[in-house]
Amino acid sequence: MRRAHRIDAGLALCVLCGSLVALRRAGLRISFPSALGGALGTLAFEYVASRHQERIRREWTRPDVRALTVTGTLALVVGTIRFRSGSLLSALCGALVCYLALLAGVATGRVAHPTEW
Q: Does a structural domain hold residue 115?
A: no
Quote the number of domains for the chain: 1
The answer to whether position 116 is within a domain reads no
pLDDT confidence bin for 4, thresholds 50/70/90: confident
For the stretch 68-97, pLDDT in tens is 998 999 888 888 888 888 899 999 999 999
Q: CA-CA distances (angstroms) from residue 72 to 45, 65, 76, 80, 82?
A: 18, 10, 6, 12, 15
**Which domain covers residue 79, as residue numbers?**
3-107
Is 114 part of a structural domain of the chain? no
Task: Output the pLDDT for position 112.
Answer: 85
The radius of gyration of the chain from alpha carbons, rounded to an integer in Å, stands at 14
Spatial separation of the C-alpha atoms in residues 35 and 31, rounded to whole Å: 6
For the segment 38-73, what is each residue's pLDDT rounded down to a tens digit?
A: 999 999 999 898 888 888 888 988 999 989 998 999
91 domain-assigned: yes
What is the pTM assigned to this prediction? 0.86
